[in-house]
Amino acid sequence: MEPLRAVGGAPWMSFTCALAMSCAMVVFVACSGGACPEGLREVGGMCVPEDAGAGDACVPGAETCDNTDEDCDGAIDEEVTRACGTDRGACETGTETCSGGVWGRCVDPVDPTTEVCDGSLDDDCDGATDETPNFPSDPNNCGSCGTRCAEPNAVTRCQTGSCVRLACSPGFVDLDPRVAGCEYACDPRGAEVCNGVDDDCDVLIDEGFVKFCNRPGGVMTMSLCANPGETVCDGVDDNCDGRIDEGLLNACGACGPPPAPR
């Protein structure tokens, strides 16, 4: 005789079991303190025919991953799953499904990733958050996540959790401490000299020096450090030295050739 297979029901209720001879009978589960009906005997908490062998009765139980039909429904290891992976930190567990007594691969887990300093997530799922950065000296996470020690045209460093500017990049100076970095493109050469260049990088050119001009016809065309002298006797201070037509006037103090003697 083949084992009795429960077709429906639940513990402590009636079960309709299929026998080898294609007929059906009712098998009763003995209630606490009860007894099996006449013609049946108790095996493992189940009432089975008296002539059933020890291995003929299927006692329903929870299905586990062991390649047997423990719930007596004719299927083996059906819908037996378990969580896999970890749900610590940013990770999430996946699902393993049993087949033939063997657990399959872990499906759809959220696995650990490289720890990122974001102030909130345990990316590598090790139970610690943002443990990777060295806040006192990390230039990309100086003192806190995401604080980068970087200023335009400057050399910076993270020192004891604070960004410090060590120097301006070559060719730049810092004129305004309210502005990050070194904003003025200038190559300091030392003390200012009269050469048309901002030698001391203070935005002023040739400051402190008297400047001259050359404006033939009354139009200034150049700013000069050396006095170019007057070139045209025109009643105008062409070289911007505060004098008019110096060196060009005739004996009578006027422009043009001196008058003929009388």
What sign results for the dihedral spanned by CA atoms 64, 68, 69, 74? positive
pLDDT, position 242 = 85
pLDDT, position 39 = 73
Mean pLDDT by 10 residues, the chain (262 residues): 38 37 37 62 65 62 91 89 94 96 96 86 89 87 90 96 94 92 93 92 90 72 81 84 87 80 70
Backbone phi, psi, residue 232, to 5°: -135, 130
pLDDT, position 31 = 38
Cα 139 to Cα 162: distance, rounded to the nearest angstrom:
9
pLDDT, position 138 = 92
Backbone phi, psi, residue 217, to 5°: 75, 10
pLDDT, position 172 = 96
List the chain domain ranges: 5-49, 69-132, 135-188
Query: ∠ at Cα 59 (53, 62), nearest 5°?
Result: 155
pLDDT, position 48 = 64
* pTM summary value: 0.45
CB under 8 Å, gap of 24 or more: what pairs does 23-32 form? 25/49
pLDDT, position 95 = 97
